[in-house]
A and B are shown apart, each in its own frame.
Chain A
Amino acid sequence: MRKPWMLWLLVALAPLVLGGALLLGSAGALWPDPRTELGRALLQLRLHRVVCGFAVGAGLAVAGAVLQALLRNPLAEPYVLGVSSGAGLGAALVITCGLATTSVFALPAGAFLFALATLALVFALATQRGRASIYGLLLSGVILSAIASSLLMLLLSLASTEGLHGITWWLLGNLQGDSTATLVLGSVLIAAAGIVVWWLARDLDALALGPELAHHLGIAPALVTALGLGCATLMTAAAVAMSGLIGFVGLIVPHALRALVGPGHRRLLPATALAGGCFLVLCDTFARTAFAPLEVPVGVVTALLGGPVFLWLLRRRAAGWVE
């Protein structure tokens, strides 16, 4: 079932998915008339939403694939490791302090710093005698995620009404951002970090054999790990700054894509980016239209799909993945 042309199939399918998402809305399936003002506004809203969904989905999926290769475990994922929650706390702090309006960089920067700090803390807590076990990482991730969420609630309780509106809107895991500047900056950051990890594709392949063998194959394990973790964190932070907390995209998508295009990262990463983007846009289209005129936060949809996949992977750990 694994075929190289799967990648090209994805390339062909992606425009169809994205175009379809532009057509569908809570108002039903229709192409908005761009000649009317209402139609233009509707089109612009949907376009913003599709671009945002694609960038966030691609970023989260690629971040998941990179973390899985570097930590040598299929359960590694930004949301599960607490990186997303950390980024969320950072972004919320930026909003409550009123810094979000000062610069378009403030929100992603706050998210990135806190995401990086959370990842470092998760590693420090999980490391014993120089080794970080996957169970230690997952447990520390869950606990730090809970602490970050509680701090977020605390901020929410203490925030001024103006700030409150900002955080609540953003917490829902919503792709309908109102800032085009954040959308553009976030997409650029995700694309840039994505290109860097794609450039590291062969190093990620080799590192999947363990740091020692990677060294023997001519790779510098420490450098690649640091660069890869940094890029994965940056992609997560940008995604969180754009859309709030959306989980499990980085778990489902790389796993499915490995079965389709193989585990080699040269092909896997672009395929994961395309599929992750389309996946989130599809999930969002479902969230917008399934209960129309009501809307479900897209994070709810991904969690309902991703949670069971996570548990299934956890159960069949024996199938070749190592601790």
Chain B
Amino acid sequence: MSAIELQNVSAAYRESDVLHAVSLTVAAGEWLALLGPNGAGKSTLLRVITGLLPARAGVALLNGRDIRAIRGTERARLVAVVPQELSTPLPFTVAELVGLGRVSARARLARPGAEDRRAIERALAYTDLLDLRDRPFGELSGGEKQRAALALALAQETRILLLDEPTAHLDLNHQWEILRLLDRLNRECRLTIVMTSHDLNLAAEFCARLALFDRGRLAALGKPAEVLREDLLREVYRCDVRVRQESGRAPEVRPERRPPPAAGTSAKKIHVLAGGGSGAELLRLLLLTGHQVSCGPLNMGDSDAQAAAALEIRAALEKPFSPLGKAALATARQFAGEAQVLVLAEVPFGPGNVALLTLAEEALARGARVLINTRHLDQRDFTPQREALPRLRALLDRGAVAWQHADEIFQALEKPA
């Protein structure tokens, strides 16, 4: 029987859905890491498993039983949770705090019995807190507090342990300490562990299986090597990563670091055609890598125009919410004329901004390089005569370069013209 089973679970806070039809099975004795960017739904999933947040649709089963049918005191003996941060206003000592793990294990108003004391001692011993047992919890360091939080959960003596980013606030040695401890619990005590994490490498090092979440959906589930793939991570985290896979070792993920080009060598004049927020990230990346960037035409108040202003990038601007007019177009044409490269962002085309295509066509005609974003290309033409798509296709046929991820732009920029 699997320890945790989720069948088509959807969950939501108020109106917005945070989890969409997630199905997932965790075998008894397994250690699974839930990965994904902020807001991907990892913590929400933990809340569903603990019954804190009722699933809007689907079922969550603990040891084969519906979580909604399990009473609180019984649930506390099935599954324990280590929160991201533990704090309390009361001046508990470490041992008193860990003792709270036993509140559901004995009758109301009963003194802690021999069984309780044994569980507390064991939890303190596992987390190496025996020497600190009489210290006030509030005076512990961050790493010690995290260990105490873990001890509190261990004192519950459950077979399933859930952790919400157990290493988030810890320095390197404490991160490893906690994970080695979990590893021991997983191997020696056959504890089923599910943890959320932002650290892909630590998760890959310790967990047999990883689950990658993307905007409330399960994007991938499997062995570290199957989940930590460059294409998948790029899609989910929206940033460029490299994965190094050596045989016999856990895959190692690191973000792609692009050193700025030395002045005068490969720095280029680049003009960005964007709008509606499609170019903000692009402008930032191009500026950070040392290029000379301009953009426009853009409507004043457009988030791309705001990004350009904040980054001190020169931009050809038009009045808010108006079609791009002659003056702005003329300025933009001047900027574009000076540029060696034109980059067209993932922008929807309508009657107001179809002039962007004209600028791209002129640039290509005079021999400048044109890079066109082709993500969802056929769904972005809102011009009355559906003229944008054929014109984009024509540009690509005549030598414009298609791109979908920012690193493709940088690859194109590094190639000689």
Contact = CB atoms under 8 A, between A and B. Distances in A.
A206 B137 CA distance: 15
A203 to B, nearest CB: 8
Interface stretch (B61-69, B73-81, B372-380): B73-81
A263 B87 CA distance: 14
Interface residues of A, number: 33
B96 A74 contact: no
A209 B72 CA distance: 16
A293 B86 CA distance: 55
Contacts of A202: 103, 108-109
Given A199-B108, A209-B88, A215 B101 contact: no
Nearest to A198: B109
Nearest to B71: A218
Contacts of B156: 217
A84 B138 CA distance: 32
A219 to B, nearest CB: 6
The interface centre, meaning the residue of B81, B90, B103 with most chain A CB atoms within 10 A of its CB, is B90
Contacts, number: 89
Contact of B89 (A201, A208, A216): A208
Interface range, B side: 20 to 34
Given A201-B109, A264-B96, A320 B103 contact: no
Given A209-B88, A320-B91, A218 B83 contact: no
Interface string A200-226: 011101101110110111111000000
Contacts of A210: 83, 87-88
Nearest to A219: B72
A222 B51 CA distance: 14
Contacts of A208: 88-90, 92
A319 interface: yes
B100 interface: yes
B27 interface: no
B109 A266 contact: yes
A15 to B, nearest CB: 24
B58 interface: no
A258 B88 CA distance: 14
A72 B89 contact: yes
B322 to A, nearest CB: 37
A137 interface: no
B109 A263 contact: no
Contact of A212 (B52, B93, B109): B52
A169 interface: no
A130 to B, nearest CB: 10
B76 A320 contact: no
The interface centre, meaning the residue of A210, A262, A263 with most chain B CB atoms within 10 A of its CB, is A263
Contacts of A219: 72, 103-104
Contacts of B81: 213, 216
Given A213-B81, A218-B75, A219-B72, A206 B90 contact: no
A135 interface: no
Contacts of B87: 210, 322
Contacts of B138: 319-320
Given A264-B96, A319-B138, A322-B89, A215 B103 contact: no
Contacts of B101: 217
Contacts of B86: 209, 213
Interface string A283-323: 00000000000000000000000000000000000011110
A199 B108 CA distance: 7
Contacts of A321: 89
A293 B128 CA distance: 63
Given A74-B89, A208-B88, A321-B89, A262 B96 contact: yes
A176 B89 CA distance: 37
A145 B103 CA distance: 37
7 contacts: A68-B89, A205-B100, A206-B100, A216-B52, A262-B92, A263-B90, A322-B89
Question: What are the 9 tightest A-B residue pairs by CB atom distance, in nearest-first order?
Answer: A218-B76, A320-B138, A218-B104, A263-B90, A216-B81, A218-B72, A218-B73, A321-B89, A202-B103
Interface of A: 68-69, 72-74, 198-199, 201-203, 205-206, 208-210, 212-213, 215-220, 258-259, 262-264, 266, 319-322
Given A208-B90, A219-B103, A322-B88, 10 more contacts: A205-B90, A206-B103, A208-B89, A210-B88, A212-B52, A216-B81, A216-B83, A320-B137, A320-B138, A321-B89
